[in-house]
Homo-oligomer: A and B are copies of this chain.
Amino acid sequence: MGDWVSDDYVMASYLVHQQAGDFYKKAQGIAVGLTVGSWTDLPAERQEQMKKHLGQVVSVEELGEDEAGNRKAILQIGYPVCNFTAEIPALLTTVFGKLSMDGMIKLVDLQFPESFVKQFPGPKYGIEGIRQRLGVYDRPLLMSIFKSCIGYETKTLAELFYQQAIGGVDLVKDDEIFFDDTYAPFERRIEACAKEAERAYSVTGKKVLYAANLTGPVTEIVEKAKRAVEAGASALLLNVLAYGYDVLHRLAGDPAVTVPIMAHPALSGAVYPAPQYGIRASVLLGKLMRMAGADFVLYPSAYGSVAMERTETLAIADELRMDAFALKRSFPVPSAGIHPALVPQLYEDLGNDQIVNAGGGIHGHPDGSAAGGRAFVAAIEAVLKGRTLAEAATESDELAKALQLWGGK
The verdict on A350 contacting chain B, using a C-beta distance below 8 Å, is no
Set of chain B residues within 8 Å of A270, measured between Cβ atoms:
96, 100, 107, 271, 277-279
Report whether A89 and B177 are in contact in the complex, using a CB–CB cutoff of 8 Å: no
**Given the complex of chains A and B, what is the CA–CA distance between A25 and B280 in angstroms?**
30
Report whether B244 and A177 are in contact in the complex, using a CB–CB cutoff of 8 Å: no
- Given contacts A83-B177, A179-B93, A217 and B250 within 8 Å (CB-CB): yes
Task: Pick the residue among B89, B216, B267 that contacts A242 (CB under 8 A).
Answer: B89
Q: Mark A23-54, 1 if CB is under 8 A from B, else 0.
A: 00000000000111110000000000110110
Report whether B300 and A101 are in contact in the complex, using a CB–CB cutoff of 8 Å: yes
The verdict on A148 contacting chain B, using a C-beta distance below 8 Å, is yes
**Given the complex of chains A and B, what is the CA–CA distance between A134 and B358 in angstroms?**
57
The verdict on A215 contacting chain B, using a C-beta distance below 8 Å, is yes
Interface size of A as a range:
35 or more
Task: List A4-36 residues whose CB lies under 8 Å from chain B.
Answer: 34-36
Q: Kindly provide the distance from the CB of A101 to the nearest chain B CB, expressed in whole angstroms.
A: 3
The verdict on A246 contacting chain B, using a C-beta distance below 8 Å, is yes
Task: List A82-119 residues whose CB lies under 8 Å from chain B.
Answer: 82-85, 87-90, 92-94, 96-105, 107
One complex includes copies of this chain to the number of 2
**Given the complex of chains A and B, what is the CA–CA distance between A218 and B85 in angstroms?**
13
**Given the complex of chains A and B, what is the CA–CA distance between A179 and B148 in angstroms?**
42
The verdict on A219 contacting chain B, using a C-beta distance below 8 Å, is yes
Task: Pick the residue among B216, B222, B246, B266 that contacts A97 (CB under 8 A).
Answer: B266
- Given contacts A89-B243, A270-B271, A177 and B97 within 8 Å (CB-CB): yes
The verdict on A369 contacting chain B, using a C-beta distance below 8 Å, is no
| Minimum CB distance partner of A266 in chain B | B97
Task: Pick the residue among B52, B85, B215 that contacts A179 (CB under 8 A).
Answer: B85
Report whether A89 and B239 are in contact in the complex, using a CB–CB cutoff of 8 Å: yes
- Given contacts A97-B176, A267-B96, A277-B273, A36 and B150 within 8 Å (CB-CB): yes
Report whether B36 and A148 are in contact in the complex, using a CB–CB cutoff of 8 Å: yes
Report whether A246 and B217 are in contact in the complex, using a CB–CB cutoff of 8 Å: yes
Which A positions have Cβ atoms within 8 angstroms of B?
Answer: 34-38, 49-50, 52-53, 82-85, 87-90, 92-94, 96-105, 107, 147-148, 150-151, 175-177, 179-180, 215-219, 222, 239, 242-244, 246-247, 249-250, 264-271, 273-274, 276-279, 300, 305-306, 308, 336
